[in-house]
Chains A and B, each alone.
Chain A
Amino acid sequence: MLKIENLVKTYKDVKALDGLNLEVKPGQIYGFLGPNGAGKSTTILSTLGLIFPQEGRIQLFDVEVFKDGKFDEAKLVEVKKRIGYMPEHATLWDFLTPVQTLDIIADAFNIPKAEKEKRINELLNLVGLSDDRNRKVGKFSKGMRQRLLLAQALINDPELLILDEPMTGLDPTGIAEFKEIIREQKKAGKTVFFSSHILAHVEEICDTVGVIVKGKLRVEDNLESIKREFLRKAGYTILVETNVPVDWSPSGWNVTPLGEKRYRIAAEEDIREGVHDYVASQGAKILTMQVKEPSLEEIFLKMVE
């Protein structure tokens, strides 16, 4: 769907993308994470031909649109018919109403009139702007503008939806509706690539995550694999609760008591079986035992470090 290889983009003497490699597969909801200035927006803008990288390759729908420092504009225009894009920190034309805005955007895709009207009505319903269809966008709140930006991105029923920090400025209801729309897109077989700095949103709706730091992709995998890999590298934290107090000193493990019968064990590998046997050998029983899962935030912070 989207494949980026060794992409380099330098602004004056700042390397925004430093040999970036990334792949978004069909049907994925891909969360693109990174701290401020990591290169998230530069990646998205490069993908759409809105900025010019110096090196690397970009493929969209298996069509090579960028190679040897040049975009093939004819090919890019052709593939853009299948893409929807919602930019970060953007507004739409203040003097237009939502209907007029979507009408003009639909014209860029040559959508026939009857289909266009139907689509505009559907989208305004979807993003909850039906009642404001004839109000000027200039009078809209930030959240309403975000909703309209999402609607314009969906006007062509895109196969690939690219969203740059889409939930900024939305209230909790808006965020919930937004997540639902993204899930609906996945159900319909669409691919969603979105950048965000709100890790909880990414964790909740994405099946694949890419983390970019200083213009390079540090990790790209599904969330489960990322967590497993993190645990493998950073070590396991096992939380144990027993029926009676246990003396851990003969075990040789790094155990911190959290209460009379509750303990935290830090280990380099998954030693749950060993813990079970040890507790039994001490004549005690395990009431609960769990491996403390790292949050995406912990993983993210560790990577950024």
Chain B
Amino acid sequence: MMWGFHLEFKQSLRTKKLWVILGIMILLYIPVFYIIKSVGGSEITVGGAMAFLIQFVTGMAGFFIGILALLMGATAINSEVEKGTLRVAMSKPIKRISYIGGKFLAHSVVLLLALLLSTVVGIAGVVWLGAPLTSELIRDVLLLNMLLLIAMIQLVALGYIISTLIKSSGSALGMALVLAFIMFLIMPNVVGYLTFKAISDHPNMSYEELHQLRKDYTTKYLFYVPTSQVSVITEDVSSTDENLANTTYYGLPHAIKKNPVNLGILIGLTVAYLGIGFFRFLRMDLR
């Protein structure tokens, strides 16, 4: 398994799209923290800062690294077939499963490094806002990275399926971008509209009921968007009273326990996509 890993790891770290996407993401962090600080960040509570960090990293890293993961997967196999490097590699005494396994492992490590980079910048931001660096924060940040990593792996695996279906890496890249646009921008807005419509049909709903309805709609209609499933989970790291005045922080383990269905969907679809992607690679003609 290590043979494909070394090569893919080096290759992934050298792709321009990785550094361009990470660069844009990190650049966007700076104004966000600056604005929070200038509009009263000094009054931020510890719980509030932690809740903000978790949800901010979920949103930013989920979107940017999510696109990266999908693009990475969508060109993982077809571009190597086009260049002929896959024919060279697979003519050597290596099993196909070892090769794709090593490739997948390398992609996972690169995505984890990207997530950690995003998290470290996020932590630096909340510390700069005045929140203390506690062991609880570190634990939750690590758990968050694990959740996001599963989401990213799901997107890479979806990319592998695209990569085995579309021979041209250029077309696959285009397809992945369209898919990302639909998954991250169009569908969440469509579901947001449906939620809003349902809420307006029931004007007497409590804050808690509204929150639950929104979660139910996301679970039901955005089950195929892994970052949305992570968002549903991370929303429960804290609660804010109805006047939006006080934030109580419960932590990520509490949020995960409270949303087993979303965690199940996240893991289940990841395994299914990986299975399909790997199976297709094992049976595909490398020409």
**A interface residues with partner B (beta carbon < 8 Å):** 11, 41-42, 45, 48-52, 73, 77-78, 80-81, 83, 85, 87-93, 95-96, 104-105, 107-109, 149, 152
Contacts and interface: CB of A to CB of B under 8 A. Distances in A.
Contacts of B10: 95-96
Given A91-B84, A93-B85, A73 B96 contact: yes
Interface stretch (B41-49, B87-95, B228-236): B87-95
Contacts of B202: none
Shortest 6 CB-CB contacts between residues of A and residues of B: A90-B84, A108-B92, A85-B91, A51-B285, A80-B93, A50-B286
Contacts of B88: 85, 87, 90, 92, 105, 149, 152
A80 to B, nearest CB: 4
Given A93-B7, A95-B11, A50 B95 contact: no
Most buried by A among B11, B92, B95: B92
Interface in B56-99: 83-85, 87-96
A108 B93 contact: yes
Most buried by B among A83, A93, A107: A93
14 contacts: A45-B87, A45-B285, A50-B87, A50-B286, A51-B286, A52-B283, A52-B285, A81-B93, A90-B84, A90-B85, A91-B84, A95-B11, A95-B14, A108-B93
Interface of B: 3, 6-7, 10-11, 14, 83-85, 87-96, 283, 285-287
B83 A90 contact: yes
A92 B85 contact: yes
B3 A109 contact: no
Contacts of A51: 285-287
Contacts of A108: 3, 89, 92-94
A77 B94 CA distance: 6
Nearest to B86: A50
Contacts, number: 74
A107 B14 CA distance: 21
A107 B277 CA distance: 26
Contact of B84 (A48, A52, A89, A107): A89
Contacts of A49: 90
Nearest to B91: A85
Nearest to B285: A51
B7 A104 contact: yes
A93 B11 contact: yes
Contact of A77 (B3, B87, B95): B95
A91 B88 CA distance: 9
A158 to B, nearest CB: 10
Contacts of B286: 45, 50-51
Contacts of B3: 104, 107-108
A107 B7 CA distance: 11
B93 A77 contact: yes
Nearest to B6: A104
Contacts of A11: 285
A258 to B, nearest CB: 49
Contacts of A83: 91
Contacts of A107: 3, 6
A41 B285 CA distance: 12
